[in-house]
Amino acid sequence: MPRIVGVDIPQEKKVAVSLTYIYGVGNTTAARLCRDVGISPDKRAKDLTDDEIARLANTIEKTCMVEGQLRRHVQQNVARLREIACYRGLRHRRGLPVRGQKTQSNARTRKGPRKTVAGKKSVKGH
């Protein structure tokens, strides 16, 4: 498996698809990287030469913020929002959706599993 920026990319897939396994590289960025380095995006990752892998790695390091550096950057942004106590920061702090979604019926991914609350007992005989 070719290793680029600390990530093993799949051998059997095309280069453009394999590059998307790197955190911070999507389809558009992968296609642009292939074009900049001069590699056909349809070439399989296992067919890359050591020189092409090195050129790809250098280009990614120079032009993109990826993997650990990008994760750290995102965490710092969220921490800043929490710190200044803006609306988005409060939503992050409470574990609720940040981007304006409804929460009455959905938002289970952010809120977690349902917490069942016991219902009132009905009083009979009065």
Band (122; pLDDT cuts 50, 70, 90):
confident
Is the pLDDT confidence value at 125 over 70?
Answer: no
Note the pLDDT tens digit of each residue in 18-57: 999 999 999 999 999 999 999 999 999 999 999 999 999 9
Question: What is the predicted pLDDT for the residue at 126?
Answer: 64
C-alpha–C-alpha distance, residues 57 and 55, integer Å? 5
Rounded to two decimals, the pTM is 0.80
Q: At what angle do helices 50-63 and 27-37 cross, to 10 degrees?
A: 120
Band (64; pLDDT cuts 50, 70, 90):
very high
Nearest Cα to Cα of residue 5 among 40, 47, 33: 33
